[in-house]
Amino acid sequence: MTTAAPRPSVRSAKPGVGRRDWGHVPILAVREQGETVTYPRLLALDFDGVICDTVREGCRSAWQVCREFVPLNGDAPPPELAALFVRLRPVVEHGWEFPVLVLAILDGIPEAAIWDAFQTTCRAQVLEKYRVTPRQLAARFDAVRDRTIARSLDDWLSDQWLYPGMADRLRSILADGITTYVVTTKEGRFAHTLLATHGVTMPLERVWGKEQARPKPELLRVLARTHGVAYRDLWFVEDRLKTLQAVTREADLTDVGLYLALWGYIMPTDPDKAAADARVVPLTLERFCGDFGTWTK
């Protein structure tokens, strides 16, 4: 991805900081023909670990799913299990794996083994032991969330929140006319509810959840085709390095801007790997909440 000296953006995360006095003009209206890309026309964002810190709600919901398999007391896990779950959260790649991680911890699988092999032997071991499929776990996980929301939306929201500065930054991006999508493996309606609760108004059709049932590289292609933008004008922010690396392996997606959210649920070695990757830009939350021109390496 081509980089250049940052150009002042129309808006910044904080009013009056680093912006020209152009009034409230959509940013797309002022891009010049052939100008070096220092901001996106189309922005795709992962949700969990990028927009919202959901790990504690995920742990609590997973705990309630696991009560269907083993005798457990209470609606919430004990603090020591919750703390271990939070620490191990980066090994989870799909929502249905949350109960798998809780069961792995309950079964006494060593932490080192979970770090090294959760996506292979650990996950398979748990699924076989409890005779359950990913589809069944996904349905039970969503059902727990639906019951909690039906009983008390405030209770469901109590263990999850948008990262500091995130709501303001998203509102600013949307106000500037940047076409923005949420692309997540979470159920889309849950992500949409969380955004709306925090005053981030997005059309439901721009919150793409697991119901899309396609790999994220393919979703990026669909987005670019739908909106008629070049891949260099499409930026994608994700906290899972493996997902970004999957995009780098697609020859036609060479120009897509790829950003690793360092504030998210990343593996311990991910920052160094991203720093050494010419295609992936490690991004801090502070830089995310600033002007797009600061995002480059």
DSSP symbol at 86:
H
pLDDT per position as a tens digit, 246-288? 999 999 999 999 999 999 999 999 999 999 999 999 999 999 9
Question: Alpha-carbon distance 49 to 285, whole Å?
Answer: 11
pLDDT band at 225 (very low <50, low <70, confident <90, very high): very high
Residue 12 has pLDDT above 50, yes or no: no
Residue 213's pLDDT is what?
75
DSSP symbol at 8:
P
Residue 297's pLDDT is what?
55
Give the three-state DSSP class for 140.
Answer: helix
Residue 49's pLDDT is what?
96
Residue 164 neighbours by CB under 8 Å, 6+ apart: 285
Residue 64 neighbours by CB under 8 Å, 6+ apart: 75, 144
- What is the domain partition of the chain in residue ranges? 27-52+161-294, 55-157
Question: Alpha-carbon distance 272 to 70, whole Å?
Answer: 39
Residue 2 has pLDDT above 50, yes or no: no
Average pLDDT, the chain: 88
- Residue 124: closest CA among 93, 100, 92, 145: 100
Q: How many CA atoms lie within 13 A of 272 on its CB side?
A: 3
pTM: 0.84
Residue 38's pLDDT is what?
81
Residue 20's pLDDT is what?
31
27-52+161-294 folds as Rossmann fold (3.40.50)
pLDDT per position as a tens digit, 27-54? 343 344 455 678 899 999 999 999 999 9
Mean pLDDT score, 11-16: 34
pLDDT band at 174 (very low <50, low <70, confident <90, very high): very high
Residue 5 has pLDDT above 90, yes or no: no
How would DSSP label each residue in 170-226? HHHHHHTT-EEEEE-SS-HHHHHHHHHHTT----GGGEE-GGG-S-HHHHHHHHHHH
Mean pLDDT score, 129-136: 96
Radius of gyration, alpha carbons of the chain: 20
Torsion of CA 164, 285, 57, 76, to 10 degrees: -80
Residue 209 neighbours by CB under 8 Å, 6+ apart: 184, 185, 186, 187, 188, 189, 190, 191
